Amino acid sequence: ETWVYGFGGGTADGDASMKNLLGGKGANLAEMAKLGLPVPPGFTISTAVCTAYYELEREYPSTLSPQVDAALAAVEQESGKGFGDPENPLLVSVRSGARASMPGMMDTVLNLGLNEASVKGLAKLAGERFAYDSYRRFIQMYSNVVLGLRHDTFEHILDDYKERQGFELDTEMEAEDWKAVIVSYKEAVEKALGKPFPDDPKEQLWGAISAVFGSWMNDRAITYRKLNDIPTEWGTAVTVQSMVFGNLGETSATGVAFTRDPSNGEPIFYGEYLINAQGEDVVAGIRTPAPISRERADTLKSADAPLEEAMPPVYAQLREVADKLERHYKDMQDLEFTVENGRLYMLQTRNGKRTASAALRIAVDMARDGLITEEEAVLRLAPSQLDQLLHPTIAEDAVRDVIVTGLPASPGAAVGKVVFDSEEAFAMAEKGEDVILVRIETSPEDIKGMHAARAIVTARGGMTSHAAVVARGMGRPCVCGAGGLQIDTAKGVFRVMGREVKKGDVITVDGAAGQVLLGAVKMMQPDLSGDFGTLMGWADKARRLKVRANAETALDARTAVEFGAEGIGLCRTEHMFFDADRIPEVRAMILANDEAGRRASLAKLLPMQRADFEDLFRILEDRPATIRLLDPPLHEFLPHSDADMEEVAKASGVKVEELKRRAADLHESNPMLGHRGCRLGITYPEIYEMQARAIFEAAVNVAKETGRQPVPEVMIPLVGTHKELSILKAVVDGAAKAVFAETGTTLDYMVGTMIELPRAALQAGEIAQSAEFFSFGTNDLTQTTLGISRDDAGRFLKIYEEKGIYEKDPFVTLDQVGVGELVKIAAERGRKTRPGIKLGICGEHGGDPASVAFCHRAGLDYVSCSPYRLPIARLAAAHAAL
Ligand code: ADP
Ligand code: MG
Ligand code: MG
């Protein structure tokens, strides 16, 4: 079996298609080498080794080591250097790379291969000071990443040394100083571990390889995988690559670049770099990097010149490489490069992470330029990403009390309370508080807190710092490098320009402007025209599923139409019962002793309901509206306070004592399975009769008024038997007949049912004799199929998810093999009785991308979801069809 894949010198064993085996980094390094780009030679140990390593309880397959030796020999040959050679040493980096990029999760070791002998060789080639500085960096990094020693052990040693010498800066350290520090570093390692720092390069190499494989199972990586749905089985690859040095002086540099702006998608060449620096210096936010091109020079607060001016030929070459890679991969690229003595080397390329608005703009631009098709553009945007575009930004006329301005690292705006600690951010968010995480800088340990926060602010770091990259990926607004901030975590305050903001104070973050504002600032709704409209248009062309909205109020209905609803899939009439002007009458009706009493109240409610439906029909024009008759247990409407009781007593003329007795009668021990849904219609048919009459009178009135044809679809909830439905269908049909006769106008309408009980799903064939449509009420169907009450699930469902009993919250993502199976059975049996029966779903699942995909596969006609999730459903439906 082949475990190791080499690259370099214009060829490679692998290529970009082998991401599963080589990880994203390894596969793309191979591809770049094949494209003839300047890539330092190296080799990648495949993810299959990671899998084998854990299967063999952290041992390697015996055939691995000879393959590594051979690959290393090839790199020595290509580079003309020898691994551990005291004269001309080959140094390598050991890099991790999973299939999906996991920023900051895995640790890279640089300058590996340095030891007491080879450091002398390096000194002869590149200078003594440089060699010993590299050696001490290597010891520090290796000890931390591979041997598990704390960073500050080494920082203390260095600080002590500098203090004793009276030095302020690292630049004052000479070769002899570094040598002295190295001795102390090694002593510290030996003291901590009881054995010396490894001097044998081979031992160093295997230690680093094992550390990379080992880091696949560290807490940070596990958390990241969970947040991003990355399976544990994928494993990571390890890439070993010969080092190039960006820290050899003023003609050397290191940097990262994007072929387009990752925060808004603008087609400009964009990035940051540092002269005379190595590795993660740019990302770590230790020094403020300079911009790559002139175009954005003004947004970065660097004193240094853009690469375009500092190294024009390198810049020209880099730009050429970037263009070539973008055209080759047909996507925006995120590049890592190093310049060694004026020579450019490419160290990484990948499809760049981007904000949702950047993803949108890039997809639409690339499709317009013919680089990708419209369908490909639609697939470039994940439905869940749309959420970010639908969220508010700061209103243009808002009053901005700017506390501090930093870099616009991730757009969007959010309001919340200041928190300085990630654990605390997480704990407060769990309690439902909106928090803003404010940190000097972030590291992978902060991921949980960043995810819990509404927005993130950092004092240090550039546009490619950890905070910026992670926030963009999570869709959190972020301002980073807000240099004026002085954060005093211990006291729980930050100070800036003579002002003080305490923990718990409310601030607003404007990620697009890079501003932090005092207080809760006015927000603005997002723009849904432009590129957004274009892409949604392409998505609509591609999808088969129709989308509807769950809406009761005129406001919701208008939003729904604006967001592209093709009708209302669920109008919950009970929501119309709670308004202040009618609740006393609703209560009087419920507490009435007999039918006559109920009818008296219903007569007063009829015009109110009719007016509600008229509003909806006007807004919907010719679009259908599925209107569900009264569903919840009656006691949900009951008066609780004495004042409420008095009010009902006045409205109904019944004594308070009497009302209280009736209220007690209505108590149920399990209301979810009690007197609700169609059971109300069976016991009090006059309620459904009134509602049906209100619907038909409204439809007729609006038809006369507007000349349009309203399309009412009357839906009976919680049906379990055909008999229930046939009795209630007769009530609805009777009301329609009466209204049509009274008004002399006839309209098309439908009567159907929700399928939300397992029995209804199984009896769908019979039920379809009376039902002209089914709407799967997957909220209740999930509760009744799983026997789990959604309101009580909080206590145990998380643990169920953690233990993998349910992979996802079944109330968010449809349980396809259980509840979904019932949906399929009902669809099949319903269609057998009534081919062409209309099928839809109206639970929360209608706006969940995975559930929408399921509905597409199950052949349903439409999904219905809350108005704000409509674009997500439209895009998810398009993805399912493509
Ligand atoms: P990450 O996955 O965290 O980005 P990388 O493996 O890309 O980690 O390494 C981080 C940085 O280390 C790179 O951006 C690059 O600057 C530096 N680096 C890695 N390998 C080499 C190398 N062979 N020569 C010089 N620098 C390197
Ligand atoms: Mg890293
Ligand atoms: Mg990298």
Q: Domain check: are 552 and 633 in the same one?
A: yes
pLDDT at 601: 92
Active site residue 466: yes
Task: Identify the weakest region by mean pLDDT among 65-69, 443-447, 534-538.
Answer: 443-447
Domain CATH number, residue 293:
3.30.470.20
Identify which of 7, 110, 258, 334 to mutate to test ligand 1's pocket (most ligand atoms within 8 A of the CB). Answer: 110
Q: Domain check: are 259 and 223 in the same one?
A: no
Q: 594-603 pLDDT, tens per residue?
A: 899 999 999 9
Q: Which atom of ligand 1 is nearest to the CA of 242?
A: 23
Distance CA 555, CA 708 (A): 21
Distance CA 223, CA 30 (A): 29
From 499, 524, 549, the end of a domain falls on: 524
Please count the structural domains in the chain.
4
Domain CATH number, residue 405:
3.50.30.10
Distance CA 361, CA 266 (A): 7
Does residue 378 sit within a domain? no
Among protein residues, the one with the nearest Cα to ligand 1's atom 23 is 243
> What is the span of the domain harbouring residue 344?
253-354
Q: Domain check: are 541 and 500 in the same one?
A: no
pLDDT at 715: 98
* pLDDT level of residue 105 (50, 70, 90 thresholds): low
Average pLDDT, stretch 77-99?
94
* pLDDT level of residue 298 (50, 70, 90 thresholds): low
Biggest CA-to-CA distance, the chain: 105
Q: Which of 478, 480, 842, 865 is catalytic?
A: 842
pLDDT at 839: 98
Q: 211-235 pLDDT, tens per residue?
A: 999 989 988 888 888 878 889 899 9
Distance CA 92, CA 205 (A): 9
**CB < 8 Å & 24+ apart, contacts of 578-586:** 578/637, 581/608, 582/608, 583/637, 584/647, 584/648, 584/650, 584/651, 585/651, 586/637
* pLDDT level of residue 285 (50, 70, 90 thresholds): low
Does residue 857 sit within a domain? yes
Helices (H) and strands (E) in the chain, counts: 34, 34
Does residue 429 sit within a domain? yes
From 326, 354, 382, the end of a domain falls on: 354
Distance CA 264, CA 511 (A): 11
pLDDT at 297: 65
- Asked if residue 106 has pLDDT above 70, the reply is no
Q: 665-711 pLDDT, tens per residue?
A: 888 888 889 999 999 999 999 999 999 999 999 999 999 999 999 99
From 211, 242, 273, the end of a domain falls on: 242
Q: Domain check: are 411 and 342 in the same one?
A: no
Q: Domain check: are 628 and 663 in the same one?
A: yes
- Asked if residue 463 has pLDDT above 80, the reply is no
- Asked if residue 782 has pLDDT above 90, the reply is yes
Domain CATH number, residue 715:
3.20.20.60
Q: Domain check: are 210 and 268 in the same one?
A: no
Annotated binding site for substrate: 572, 628, 756, 777-780
pLDDT at 641: 79
Identify which of 79, 212, 347 to mutate to test ligand 1's pocket (most ligand atoms within 8 A of the CB). Answer: 347
Does residue 370 sit within a domain? no
Residue 61 DSSP SS3 = coil
* pLDDT level of residue 526 (50, 70, 90 thresholds): confident
Q: 133-160 pLDDT, tens per residue?
A: 999 999 999 999 899 999 889 999 999 9
Q: Domain check: are 350 and 417 in the same one?
A: no
pLDDT at 222: 86
pLDDT at 66: 97
Q: Domain check: are 598 and 742 in the same one?
A: yes
What is the percent of the chain with per-residue pLDDT over 90, rounded to a whole number? 71
Ligand 1, CB within 6 Å, residue ranges: 40, 93, 95, 104, 108, 110, 241, 243-244, 254, 279-280, 336, 338, 347-348
Q: 541-579 pLDDT, tens per residue?
A: 999 999 999 998 888 899 899 999 999 999 999 888 877
pLDDT at 299: 59
Q: Domain check: are 519 and 568 in the same one?
A: no
Does residue 382 sit within a domain? no
Q: Domain check: are 864 and 747 in the same one?
A: yes
Does residue 841 sit within a domain? yes
Q: Domain check: are 296 and 201 in the same one?
A: no
Q: Domain check: are 238 and 257 in the same one?
A: no
Active site residue 480: no
201 Cα: distance to centroid of ligand 1 (angstroms)? 19
* pLDDT level of residue 195 (50, 70, 90 thresholds): very high
- H-helix or E-strand containing 44? strand 42-45
Among protein residues, the one with the nearest Cα to ligand 1's atom 20 is 93
For the purposes of burial, counting CB atoms within 10 Å of the CB of 339, is it exposed (0-12), middle (13-18) or buried (19 or more)?
Answer: buried
Average pLDDT, stretch 24-44?
97
